[in-house]
Structure 1
Amino acid sequence: MLIVEGSAPTTRAARYLKQVLSHFSHKIDVELAEDRGTAAFGAGRAELTATADALVVRIEAEDAEKAATVERVIVSHAERFGEKDGLKFGQFTPVAA
């Protein structure tokens, strides 16, 4: 199991978390709470957390290729939704399990 994590600085993290997960809820299993949520993709699972200053994404997948697939999907949607605010993710890095 591979776990990677990345974040995008923003003061509107809760808004983007809700927007991204609501978008995916029509296609895949999603759980959404006020400041956190998950999305279960075929390639892996993404957990999104809204902090006061960032949207944090943690991805769990079987391997690097699947983790990269989930990362591309989450990041492309979040950055598109946050384009007006300049939402940009930094590099995702491995996290100890």
Structure 2
Amino acid sequence: MSLAVLVLVLTALVVLALAGSLVGASVTSRVRRRGWTGEYRVRVGPAVDRGLTGTDVGGVYTDPEVARRAAEEALVGEPATSERRAGYVMALRSDGEWDVAEVVQIRDS
């Protein structure tokens, strides 16, 4: 029975690792498709406003994957509130405006 549990745990870890790399790959391909420039920033704010308000965290990133991880880390450090919070990876468009490239949320268990 303990062997079955070990196999189940290892399988779950492999699935989680693959899912993480697939999520990261989708961010990069979406950025390329939409023609955003290579500058990204992270904003943390209310989950309902799609990054229109909130607090910018960190500086400007050149890699969307690094910006996504920074958004996750910023959310983990957020104090608990009654409103849902989200991290936004904002990408600089070719017209000079910032657009939401990725929404990051951490679900409470």
TM-score (norm 2): 0.33
Structure whose residues are more often strand by fraction? 1
Structure whose residues are more often helix by fraction? 2
Q: Which of 1 and 2 has greater Rg?
A: 2
Higher RCO (Cα < 8 Å, 6 or more apart):
1
